[in-house]
Structure 1
Amino acid sequence: MDFMETNNDIAIIGIAATLTAIGVPVGYVIHQVSMLFGFVVWNNWKKYYKHEFDLDLIMMQNINADKLKSRFVHLLTRVHELRALTFSFLLSFLTSLTLVPLLNIEISKYLLASYILNFFLCAVSYVNQKYFEGNLKYLTKQIKQL
């Protein structure tokens, strides 16, 4: 085994550990910010609490309460996850667009490709978020009719 390969392996492991140690808290903060702006700000809290409580009451009275609640939680979780992911892609895209001119970075085909990929992934996560939101609204409507 060559000494340089060992040093490179250690450096890669160190970089991965550092990025993980930084990325997890940053991801959590991004998730919290996306919850604030994407959910809390747009909903009347008192009205939403009552809405969710009423749904719980309806589901608890149903023979399939566990299945309904599990499905509701699954869809709500996906909506929140996808909102955070969309916000993260958007934040990454906007940060990159801002830093490139500030740091006088030359625009290359690789940079343009990364912009296109980032925009595509942002669009995909947004469309998926809207799909799950629609699915959640439909389930909520069906639960209210029980």
Structure 2
Amino acid sequence: MPKIVVTGVDNSRTAAAAARTAAELAAAYGARLHILSAYGSFEAERISVGQEEILVSNEKTAEGVAHDVFVEIRQEFPDLEITFGPSAGTPGEALVTAATELDADVIVVGNKRVQGVSRILGSIARYVAAHAPCDVYIAHTHQRA
């Protein structure tokens, strides 16, 4: 039985669908769900607004994306233990790193780019399947054409 399920999100509907599937899986097994959003390599910019200076970073943006999905999942699964946060690296690297660090049992990814030419060239799901330290669940997240 899984103890920790990891999934990654961005601002897409397919990522949100994969996160929902991850939540269903975690709830069914009494596991904790960890939601992450990858941000690549750290980038930041200071912006002056009046006399205040604000630090804007891609890490903070990724944290906001993960938080937004956390809020949506929390509403539907109020008893589920959920953590979230930003993660450095590409989406595939971030998922594999988080799964390794958390000693996760399952990584849930969507199947958005698992068809056609991109399957041959590589995708998040393919990268994760090749490098994951645990099981990988590929969730059906979009309608077929």
- Pick 1 or 2: higher relative contact order, CA cutoff 8 A, min separation 6: 1
Higher strand share: 2
Bigger-Rg structure (1/2): 1
| TM-score (norm. length: structure 2) | 0.28
Higher helix share: 1
